[in-house]
Amino acid sequence: MSNDYIILKRAGNEARYDVTKMRKVINWASKGLAINPIELESNAHIMLKNNITTREIQQSLILGALRLTSLEKPDWKYAAGRLKLFDIYKEISICRGNHKKIENIYNNYPKYLYKSIKNKIYTKTILEKYSQQEIEIAATYINQKYDLEYDYAGINLLAQRYLCEYNDSLWELPQEMFLTIALLVEQNAPTNNRLALVKDTYEKLARRKISLATPLLMNLRRPQGNLSSCFITAMDDNLKSIFYTIDQIAAISKHGGGVGCNISRVRCKGARLKGIKNASGGVIPWIRIVNDTAVAVNQQGKRKGAVTVSLDMWHMDIEDFLELQTENGDQRMKAYDIFPQVVIPDCFMKAVLSNTDWLLVDPHEIRQKYNVELSELWGKTFDSFYKKIEQDALNQQLEIYKFVNAKNIFKKIMKSQVETGMPYIAFKDALNRANPNKHDGVILGTNLCTESHSNIKPSIIHDTYFDNGTIKQEISNGLVHVCNLVSVNLATVDIEKELESVCKTSVRILDNAIDITSVPIAEGYLHNKRYRTIGVGAMGLADYLAKNSIAYEHSADQVDKLFEKFALYSIEESINLAKQKGTFQAYKGSDWDRGIILSKNRTWFLNNSQLPERWNSVFDNLKKFGIRNSQITAIAPNTSSSLMQGCTASILPVYSRFFIDTHANGSIPNCPPFIKEKLWYYQENKHIDQKKIVEIVATINKWIDTGISMELVYNLNRNITAKEIFETLIQAWQKNIKTIYYTRSIQKDGAVSGKNECSSCAG
């Protein structure tokens, strides 16, 4: 008889196997779902034997629920999530030594908080900022029912990556994490309404209306945590600056940030060093050191370090750069662990279309002969100067130069994208035309996921010297782009009733984070003060459209209305924060200060928007109060964090309606949240003409002040031609899209190439 078996419980004691207890757990996991719990009991392959552990039994139930998950019965993934949650509850009860019933596991948050601080799991800031009475009131906000909304992929990712551990065991429960984050986010709010803000933030995080980027979710409650996702730095053309920048990259990666690094100032291969011809090794050796730094310094053991290195299209080393990740050629010229990015000016794209030659030059020679830093030029200034050096090259007045056919080199970009998924593309003029701080600098490239960017400049290392036995350096501090990110979950937000409040809470969270983060490098701290850059993004657009019976291909009008509101609400809140706290440091002279919003004046909004009167009010308030954040919206890829949120990633169509996520720990079936009722409205990206994707992204782009992580999918089974790929990229440039992120290619044998998944700083 089955009840004759002896099982081993988690606490180490023995008990007789009781099938009624297993049924009770199955019924708990199935409650309210469109599934039959008896199916799980018959599909859970529990190999009963003496001394089987309750962990093994629970794992069998989880695997059984996952096996039952299908397009027809998607609710089994939620049952599997609850069974995993039950497992987490039990493990944490053991770790804490309290063995509470799962129905009452959240019953004493203050005690848990004090113990977490004592054990140095949490920062002690909460006790310094809040009274005991405030903490006890905040504890009443916790709602355990919110835990039940996770599917297996979501709760599993939450446990593996984000919940705090103690002595190598899980310590923290999901709702404790969200409440602690809310308390810390609102720590500096006025005490008369602070707890109301805490409750608002907690509810929107816990109910998955807002998704925090990885550094916020991972580090906010830990001592001295970096909260910023995106960093961008630049190398100057000397040894001290190069290694100083590499040190910056290591420090950022150590604290969980993703990095962009522009390397266009560095002289090319064969350039002069101290007047000696052919002495320079060019940019590739330095990129290889950056590559190895990213491997060596991971993101707190949770993810490998991740760096995108950007190079301007005019750089003499661009052809070698485009071969960085291909498998053929000299392996000493390869760097497989970085993410290459090409920075392309408009005049190059015009040369591609006209099928004319393009000049490659050495930035060091240009500096020496013309006293011009070519990487800092864009638009008409770049065009006119570039024409001059073209003529000088034709007259053989340059020592190092090369003319190449523009279309041929563009084909090399396309070939590399199809084979490797990269390089990313940053359209430099589009980036800088949309830059609200063009009065104060230039955008050189983008962050790791291409959605965030602002003015940067390298630090200049003047001298190193000894002072009373101490090594010191004279440094002119540069600016390293820093940005904090969240994403609004459009799958869970009621657009008419909740979007405004959710957008405004998102802006408040990110602006608060700027003031409480521990930025790992000084240049990032200076950037935060000067620009207060944030990035409110979105995920779950495919779910929102499907829920409303709208096919992605035909969604342009709906998307236009949605993201106008998204932009309006976010900008309004930043203006409101400026009224309370003041503007960003470089506000004077910015586009905002000049009465320009999203590169458009008031007249454009009055004639072209859905909400002209509301925008009219925005312009009036902007004039009175200014704005708190120089850049406000940016849409990240959120590939992994969308799994935790239970929605589709970013603003793109779903890749597959049903897929199996296979990794080292097993296979996890997954599908979008509304798949059962709205199957045919979930259009798969791999079956959509990518020109239509570009069109939808361009519609969203006009409402996003920073950038969008736009992926392209080339399905070779649709007999797509090189001409179509070429036309898609040209269309993206012509539609004023600022960047192109990953490219996937689906081969005719079904294999997917070019998706070496980036450890996204946004999650």
pLDDT of residue 760: 43
C-alpha–C-alpha distance, residues 554 and 547, integer Å: 14
Candidates 259, 149, 161; CA nearest to 217 is 161
Q: DSSP label at 496?
A: H
What's the CATH number where 522 sits? 3.20.70.20
Same domain, 300 and 271: yes
CB 527 within 8 A of CB 454: yes
Identify whether 583 is part of a domain: yes
Looking at the fold, whether 368 and 508 belong to one and the same domain comes out as: no
Which one of 184, 203, 222 terminates a domain? Answer: 203
- Per-residue pLDDT tens over the stretch 505-541: 999 999 999 999 989 999 999 999 999 999 999 999 9
Quick one: tokens of 384? 């006119």
* Per-residue pLDDT, 634: 98
Whether 134 and 76 map to the same domain: the answer is no
Q: Are residues 661 and 627 in the same domain?
A: yes
Q: How far is it, in rounded angstroms, from Cα 232 to Cα 226?
A: 15
Looking at the fold, whether 497 and 590 belong to one and the same domain comes out as: yes
Q: Are 110 and 139 in contact (CB under 8 A)?
A: yes
Residue 762 has pLDDT above 70, yes or no: no
- 249 and 152 in a single domain? The answer is no
Average pLDDT score over residue span 88-97: 88
**Dihedrals phi, psi of 193, to nearest 5 degrees:** -130, 15
pLDDT in the model for residue 504: 98
Bridge partners (DSSP) listed for residue 53: 8
Q: Is 461 inside a domain boundary?
A: no
Residue 239 sits in the same domain as residue 284: yes
3-state DSSP assignment of residue 293? helix
Residues with catalytic roles: 447, 449, 451
HEC string of 193-257 equals CHHHHHHHHHHHHHCCCEEECHHHHHHCCCCCCCCCCEEEEECCCCHHHHHHHHHHHHHHHHCCC
Helix, strand, coil percent content, the chain, rounded in steps of 5: 45, 15, 40
Band of the pLDDT at 274, cuts 50, 70, 90?
confident
Task: Evaluate whether 361 touches 332 at the Cβ level (below 8 Å).
Answer: no
CA distance 1 to 449: 58
pLDDT of residue 564 exceeding 60, the answer is: yes
For residue 227, what are the CA distances in angstroms to 210, 258, 471, 509, 761?
16, 12, 31, 11, 11
Among the listed residues 402, 401, 310, 409, the one whose alpha carbon sits nearest the alpha carbon of residue 364: 401
Residue 578 has pLDDT above 70, yes or no: yes
Q: How does the average pLDDT of the chain come out, rounded?
A: 92
Number of domains in the chain: 4
Q: What percent of the chain stands above pLDDT 90? A: 76
Structure confidence at residue 12 (pLDDT): 72
Same-domain pairing of 585 and 560: yes
**Partners of 260 in beta bridges:** 232, 308
Domain end: 103, 119, 148, which one?
103
pLDDT band (50, 70, 90) for residue 353: very high
Q: Is residue 573 part of a domain?
A: yes
Look at residues 62, 51, 63 and name the one whose alpha carbon lies nearest to residue 87: 62
- Kindly state whether residue 729 falls inside one of the protein's structural domains: no
State mean pLDDT over 213-236: 90
Q: Are 153 and 20 found together in one domain?
A: no
In a domain, 217, yes or no: no
- 673 cis-preceded (ω within 30 degrees of 0): no
The H-or-E segment that residue 68 falls in is: helix 54-68
Q: Residues 604-656: pLDDT tens digits?
A: 999 999 999 999 999 999 999 999 999 999 999 998 899 999 999 999 999 89
pLDDT digits (tens, 9 = 90+) for 358-374: 999 999 999 999 999 99
Please give the Cα distance from 209 to 203 (Å, whole number). Answer: 8
Share of the chain above pLDDT 70, in %: 95
**Environment class of 669 (CB within 10 Å of its CB; exposed 0-12, middle 13-18, buried 19+):** buried
- Residue 300: pLDDT band with limits 50, 70, 90: low
Task: Quickly tell me which residue has 């006009």 as its tokens.
Answer: 702
Choose the final residue of a domain: 103, 129, 147: 103
Q: How many helices (DSSP H) and strands (DSSP E) are in the chain?
A: 29, 23
Nearest-10 crossing angle of helices 556-581, 612-625: 30
User: 403-436 pLDDT, tens per residue?
Assistant: 999 999 999 999 999 989 999 999 999 999 999 9
pLDDT band with cut points at 50, 70 and 90 for residue 39: very high
Residues 641, 499, 539, CA angle at the centre, nearest 5°? 25
Pairing type for strands 258-262 and 307-312 reads parallel
CA distances, 530 to each of 456, 524, 527, 629, 700 (Å): 11, 10, 5, 10, 27
660 falls in which pLDDT band (50, 70, 90)?
A: confident
Distance CA 230, CA 279 (A): 35
156-174 per-position pLDDT tens digit: 999 999 999 998 889 999 9
Q: What is the pLDDT at residue 758?
A: 44
Specify the pLDDT at position 1.
43
Is 750 among the domain residues?
A: no
| Helix residue spans in 651-738 (DSSP H) | 675-678, 690-701, 722-734
Cβ pair 423, 412 in contact under 8 A:
no
Q: What is the mean pLDDT of residues 208-220?
A: 93
Residue 97 lies in a domain: yes
Measured in residues, the chain has a length of 763
Decide if pLDDT at 757 tops 50.
Answer: no
479: in domain? no
One domain, residues 114 and 72 = no
Answer yes or no: are the C-beta atoms of 30 and 40 closer than 8 Å.
yes
Q: Are 593 and 706 within one domain?
A: yes
- Greater confidence (333 vs 607) lies with 607
- Greater confidence (368 vs 55) lies with 368
* 98-133 exposure pattern, b = at least 16 Cβ within 10 A, e = fewer: eeeebeebbeebeebbbebbeeebbbeebeebbeee
Range of the domain at 43: 1-103
Residue whose C-alpha is closest to residue 263's, from 347, 366, 375: 375
Same domain, 618 and 521: yes
Token couple for 239: 């040894």
